[in-house]
């Protein structure tokens, strides 16, 4: 029995050594110490069963157990010292100079297009207009036919419009929201809608994708003077109440409005700049959406977000809005 116990003790010491070599942290060594030397560890369990050993064998076995305990304790201390030394070396090699200034984390900013949309929306929402949206993939009816655009009109060709098939296309204007609203809602109506539109064009003042905003107001006895007053106040507000802002309504043609006008301004420039198109909603639009044009009238306007942003911020190339150049974007805080 003594021989068996001696072999068991020697194996216990060997197992402890092997386990200690695998410990990579002080925490792992401490867990191993508890496993072998703790209150419920292997050594303590051996001491408890010594009462079952014949009295003449107890001194020899007890000596072996004590030596095993001492041996494991020394091995644990040495392993902790080795790990502490490795940790210290790593701290020296990876030390941080706490006196160095911290890294500057730059705050982001809104894109100038986003800022422009927000400023315009804020003005019209204060006048009671509701912000609505519509699909960018549209069908021919909502984008053209319902807006009184004839089948032979050049904007329907593939040179101006991105078509998926004979019916579906990428919308060329936010006016599709106007039609969808008139079909689903009856007057009085005050809405604005902003979003991406698509046309086959690309140069310093045009991109295949750009942003538009559509506005529409319909009620009884709405006339052109209401349109002029709202647009006049809007432009003065957008250009920060610039008192010397010159503005003119120039007669124009749009299939969906009659009469129609384009609005030009002079702002920090000697030249007239076109900023938006507008007009009284054409009676055919009301017929297409089952609204009585004898009872209701209204106006609509559409403007290019990029164009207004370019004028406000003094930008001469629309393509820079989409180049993600941080040097450009950092200017808008």
Considering the chain, what is the average pLDDT of its residues?
A: 85
Token pair of 223 as six digits: 């006339």
* Whole-prediction pTM: 0.65
The more confidently predicted of residues 152 and 202 is 152
CA dist 119 → 126, 155, 178 (Å)? 11, 30, 21
The pLDDT-based confidence of 333 (bands split at 50, 70, 90) is low
For residues 227 and 277, what is the distance between their CA atoms, to the nearest angstrom? 11
Q: Is the pLDDT of residue 216 over 60?
A: yes
Query: pLDDT value at position 201?
Result: 76
Looking at residue 270, what is its pLDDT?
A: 75
End-to-end CA gap in the chain: 85
Mean pLDDT lowest among 114-128, 145-159, 222-236: 145-159
pLDDT higher than threshold 70 for residue 2? no
Minimum mean pLDDT among 128-137, 252-261, 311-320: which range?
A: 311-320
Question: What's the farthest any 2 CA atoms get from each other in the chain?
Answer: 123
Closest CA to 182 of 255, 275, 256: 256
Tokens describing residue 96: 């941080």
Confidence of residue 299 (pLDDT cuts 50, 70, 90): very high
Q: Counting every residue, how long is the chain?
A: 333
Question: For residue 267, what pLDDT band results from cuts at 50, 70 and 90?
Answer: confident
Q: Please give the angle made by the CA atoms of 104, 110 and 114, to the nearest 5 degrees.
A: 170
Q: For residue 3, what pLDDT is reported?
A: 44
Phi-psi sector, 217: left (phi>0), alpha (psi -120 to 50), beta: beta
Report the distance separating Cα 55 and Cα 108, nearest Å: 82
Question: According to the 3-state scheme, what is the secondary structure of 104-131?
Answer: CCCCCCCCHHHHHHHHHHHHHHHCCCEE
Q: Parallel, antiparallel, or unpaired: how do β-strands 189-198 and 130-131 relate?
A: parallel
pLDDT tens-digit profile of 113-145?
999 999 999 999 999 999 999 999 999 999 999
In the numeric block, the tokens 């610039």 are attached to: 242
Q: Which residue has the higher pLDDT, 144 or 92?
A: 144
Q: What is the pLDDT of residue 241?
A: 63
Using only C-alpha atoms, the chain has a radius of gyration, in whole angstroms, of 41
Is the Cα torsion angle 156, 159, 161, 167 positive or negative in sign?
positive
Q: Rounded to whole angstroms, how far apart are CA atoms 261 and 248? A: 9
User: Residue 287 is encoded by which pair of tokens?
Assistant: 């017929």
pLDDT: which is higher, 52 or 133: 133
Binned at pLDDT 50, 70 and 90, residue 4 comes out as very low
């Amino acid at each position: 029995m003594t021989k068996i116990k001696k072999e068991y003790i020697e194996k216990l010491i060997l197992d402890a050594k092997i386990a200690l070599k695998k410990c990579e942290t002080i925490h792992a060594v401490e867990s191993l110490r508890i496993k072998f030397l703790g209150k419920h560890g292997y050594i303590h369990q051996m001491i408890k069963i010594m009462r079952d050993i014949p009295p003449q064998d107890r001194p020899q076995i007890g000596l072996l157990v004590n030596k095993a305990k001492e041996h494991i304790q020394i091995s644990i201390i040495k392993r902790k010292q080795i790990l502490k030394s490795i940790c210290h070396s790593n701290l020296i090699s990876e030390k941080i100079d706490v006196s160095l200034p911290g890294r500057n984390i730059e705050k982001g900013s809104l894109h100038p297009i986003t800022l422009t949309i927000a400023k315009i929306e804020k003005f019209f929402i204060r006048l009671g207009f509701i912000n609505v949206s519509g699909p960018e993939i549209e069908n021919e009816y909502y984008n053209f036919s319902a807006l009184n655009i004839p089948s032979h009109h050049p904007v329907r060709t593939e040179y101006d419009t991105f078509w998926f098939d004979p019916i579906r296309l990428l919308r060329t204007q936010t006016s599709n929201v106007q039609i969808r609203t008139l079909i689903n809602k009856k007057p009085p109506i005050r809405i604005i809608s902003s979003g991406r539109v698509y046309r086959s064009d690309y140069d310093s003042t045009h991109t295949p994708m750009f942003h538009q905003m559509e506005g529409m107001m319909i009620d009884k006895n709405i006339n052109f003077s209401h349109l002029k007053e709202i647009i006049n106040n809007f432009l003065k507000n957008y250009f920060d109440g610039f008192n010397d802002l010159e503005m003119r309504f120039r007669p124009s043609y749009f299939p969906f409005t009659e009469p129609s006008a384009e609005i030009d301004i002079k702002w920090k420039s000697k030249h007239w700049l076109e900023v938006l198109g507008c007009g009284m909603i054409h009676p055919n639009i009301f017929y297409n959406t089952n609204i009585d044009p004898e009872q209701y009238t209204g106006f609509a306007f559409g403007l290019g977000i990029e164009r207004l942003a370019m004028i406000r911020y003094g930008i001469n190339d629309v393509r820079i809005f989409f180049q993600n150049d941080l040097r450009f974007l950092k200017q808008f805080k």
